[in-house]
Structure 1
Amino acid sequence: MCRWLAYSGSPVLLSDLLFAPENSLVVQSLHSRLGVEAVNGDGFGVGWYGAQEEPGIYHSTEPAWSDRNLRELAGHASAGRVFAHIRATTGTPVQQTNCHPFRHGRWLWMHNGAIAGFSSVKRDLTLAVEPALFPLIEGSTDSELFFFLALTYGLEQDPPAAVARAVGLIEETGRKHGVPLPIQMTVATTNGETTWAFRYSSEGRSRSLFHNADVRTLRLQHPDNVTLQHVSDDARIVVSEPLGSLEGAWREVPESSCLVIEGGREQLHPFAPVPGAAPAGSAAAAL
C-alpha cells in the first residue's frame, strides 16, 4: 500500500514536513509502523500550491530516502498547502505517471489502498469515465482511475457526493465480477482551499488515518515544545500515521468518515458509498 500526508496552514518549508519530524514521511518510506508494508519505495510525489494557478508537482520513481533532488527541492520550496505521498505498488508499474498526487486543474488527489480485482474490473470502470476526461488519464493505476471516476461524478462541485458515487460504482462493479470486498481506501483531495480526507473500506477495516489536535490546545499542554511555537494556529495535518509521539497530538479519523478542513476549521461527517447507474455522459451510460 502507501503512506501520505496533507498539510494546510501558514507556509512551511517542505523539508519541515517531509524530513524533520521524528516519524517523517521519508522515515516511513523505509520503516512504516502502521502500513501493510514496512517499506514504501516504489516512488514518491509531492504537490504544493504556490505562485501559479495550478499546483506544482514533483514525481520520482526513486525511493524517497535516496532522492537527492527531493531533499534539494524540499530545502528551498515552501507552501501553505502540501500533499505528499510515498508509494508501495499493488501491481502496476513503477513509473512517474503512476506516482501520486494526481492533478487535474487546481485539484490534487492521492490514495492509499487498492481496488481489489483491478484487472477484472478495470475495463468496466474505465468505460464509466466521462469521454472528455478519458484522454487525460496518463498512468495505469487504480488510484488514478478512481480520481477520474470521482471527477466524472462531479468532484469539482461536491467532493463527498462524487467520491461516494464513485465508491458505489466500484463496489457494484467488483461484486458483479465476484470480488467480495472491492475497495480499501484512505483518500485525500483538495482544490487548494479545502481538503477532504476519506477513510473507508468494503470490509470495514480501513487503513490507518490520523489528524493533528488543535495547535492552541497543544501549546497549552506542552509549553516547552519549540516546534509548536512556530506552527500557526490553523495548521492541520492529515497523515496515514502520526509524524511523532507527542502525547495528545494525534487523533484517529474514524472508520467510514470524511474529514473536511477549511482554514483552521475541521468537520467530521459519516461516509458511505452511494450505489447508482453509470454517470451521465460516460461511455458506459451509452451502452
Structure 2
Amino acid sequence: MCRWAAYRGEPLYLEELVSSPAHSLIEQSHCATRAKTATNGDGFGIAWYGDRPEPGRYRDVLPAWSDCNLRSLARQIRSSLFLAHVRAATTGATRRDNCHPFVHGHWSFMHNGQIANFDRIRRRLESMLSDDLFSARTGTTDSEMIFLLALQFGLDADPLGAMEKAVATVEALSMEKSGEALVRFTACFSDGKQLYAVRYATDHKPPTLYAAPMAGPAGAKSGYCLVSEPLNDEADTWVEIPDGSAVKVCTDGMQALLFQPKLLAEAA
C-alpha cells in the first residue's frame, strides 16, 4: 500500500510534511508503520498550487528516500495547498506515468488502495471516457482510471458525488464480471481551492487516513493536514477518519461527510 500526505491552509513549506517531521513522508517511504508493507519505494510525486490555477508537479520512479531533488524542492516550495505521495505498486509498472499525484486541468488526485481483478474491467471502464479523457490517460493504474472516471462523471460540479459514482461503477462492473467486488479506496483530491479525502472499502478494511490541525506562528492553527499515518507521536493530535467517510477542507475549516458508493451500486 502507498502512503500520502496533503495540506490546505496558510502557506507553508512542503518540507513540513515531506521531510522534516520525525515520521515524515520520506521516512514512511522506507519505514511505514501502519501499512501491510513497510517499504514504499516504487516512485513518488508532489503536486502543489501557486499563482496559476493548474498545479505544479514533480514525479519520479526513484524511491523518495534516495532523491536529493525532492528534499531540495520541499525546502524551497511554499504553498497553501499541496499533495505528496510515495508509491508501493499494486497495479501498473514502476514508471513515471504511474506515479501519483495525477493531474488534469486544475484537478490533482492521489490514491492508496486497490481494485481486485482490475484487468477484467479496465476495457469497459475506458470505454466510458470521452475522447479527451481517454487521450489524457498516460499510465496503466487503477488509480488514474478512477480519477478520469470521476472527471467524466462531473468532478467539477459535484466532487464527492462524482467520486462516489466512479467507485460505484467499478463495484457494479466487478460484480457483473466476477460475481464479487473488492475496492479499497483511500484517496485525496483537490481543485486548487478545496481539499477532499475519502476512506472507503467494500470489505470494511480501507487503508488508514488521519487528520490533524497544523500550528502556525505562536501556536495558532494555520490549516489542516490529511495523512496515511501520523507524522509524529502526538497521539491526541491525530483523528482517524472512519470507513465510509469523506472530509472536505476549505476556508471555513474541515467538514466530515458520508461517502456511500455502495448504495449507488446496489441501486443500479
What interval of TM-score do these two structures reach, taking the shorter chain for normalisation? over 0.9
* Cα gap change, 1:153 to 1:69, in 2 (>3 Å): same
Q: Following TM superposition, by how much is the alpha carbon of 1:72 offset from its aligned partner in structure 2, in angstroms?
A: 1.5
Instruction: Name the SS for the 1:177 alignment partner.
Output: helix
Instruction: Name the SS for the 1:133 alignment partner.
Output: helix
Q: How many residues align?
A: 266
Runs of 4 or more above 3 Å deviation: 227-232
TM-score, with structure 1 as normaliser: 0.88
Residue 72 of structure 1 corresponds to which residue in structure 2?
Answer: 72
Query: Are 1:136 and 2:136 an aligned pair?
Result: yes
* Cα gap change, 1:264 to 1:36, in 2 (>3 Å): farther
* Cα gap change, 1:254 to 1:276, in 2 (>3 Å): closer
* Cα gap change, 1:232 to 1:140, in 2 (>3 Å): farther
Residue pair 1:168, 1:275 contacting (<8 A) in 2 also: yes
Query: Are 1:178 and 2:147 an aligned pair?
Result: no
Residue 147 of structure 2 corresponds to which residue in structure 1?
Answer: 147
Residue 187 of structure 2 corresponds to which residue in structure 1?
Answer: 187
Alpha-carbon displacement from aligned partner over 1:5-57 (angstroms, at most 9, x marks no partner): 11011111112221111110000000000112100000000000112221100
Q: 2: CA distance between counterparts of 1:230 and 1:147? A: 39
Range with greater deviation from structure 2 (177-186 or 189-198)? 177-186
Tell me which of 245, 259, 267 is aligned to 2:247: 259
Instruction: Name the SS for the 1:42 alignment partner.
Output: coil
* Cα gap change, 1:276 to 1:12, in 2 (>3 Å): same
Q: 1: CA distance between counterparts of 2:177 and 2:146? A: 17
Tell me which amino acid in the other structure corresponds to 2:163: V
Q: 2: CA distance between counterparts of 1:266 and 1:62? A: 33
Tell me which of 262, 271, 274 is aligned to 2:259: 271
Q: Following TM superposition, by how much is the alpha carbon of 1:130 offset from its aligned partner in structure 2, in angstroms?
A: 2.2
Tell me which of 207, 226, 232 is aligned to 1:238: 226
TM-score, with structure 2 as normaliser: 0.94
Instruction: Name the SS for the 1:125 alignment partner.
Output: helix
Q: Following TM superposition, by how much is the alpha carbon of 1:275 offset from its aligned partner in structure 2, in angstroms?
A: 2.7
Query: Are 1:10 and 2:31 an aligned pair?
Result: no
Q: 2: CA distance between counterparts of 1:29 and 1:247? A: 21
Residue 116 of structure 2 corresponds to which residue in structure 1?
Answer: 116
Alpha-carbon displacement from aligned partner over 1:54-81 (angstroms, at most 9, x marks no partner): 1100001000000011112112111111
* Cα gap change, 1:187 to 1:23, in 2 (>3 Å): same
Q: 2: CA distance between counterparts of 1:91 and 1:265? A: 34
Instruction: Name the SS for the 2:236 alignment partner.
Output: coil
Residue 284 of structure 1 corresponds to which residue in structure 2?
Answer: none
Q: 2: CA distance between counterparts of 1:90 and 1:9? A: 32
Q: 2: CA distance between counterparts of 1:230 and 1:98? A: 40
Q: 2: CA distance between counterparts of 1:83 and 1:106? A: 13
Residue pair 2:199, 2:242 contacting (<8 A) in 1 also: yes
Q: 1: CA distance between counterparts of 2:266 and 2:235? A: 44
Instruction: Name the SS for the 1:138 alignment partner.
Output: coil
Residue 38 of structure 2 corresponds to which residue in structure 1?
Answer: 38
% same residue: 38
Q: Following TM superposition, by how much is the alpha carbon of 1:232 offset from its aligned partner in structure 2, in angstroms?
A: 5.1
Structure of greater Rg: 1
* Cα gap change, 1:277 to 1:103, in 2 (>3 Å): farther
Residue 221 of structure 1 corresponds to which residue in structure 2?
Answer: none
Alpha-carbon displacement from aligned partner over 1:183-238 (angstroms, at most 9, x marks no partner): 1110111111101111001101111100004x5xxxxxxxxxxx664665241001
Instruction: Name the SS for the 1:34 alignment partner.
Output: coil
Q: 1: CA distance between counterparts of 2:17 and 2:4? A: 11
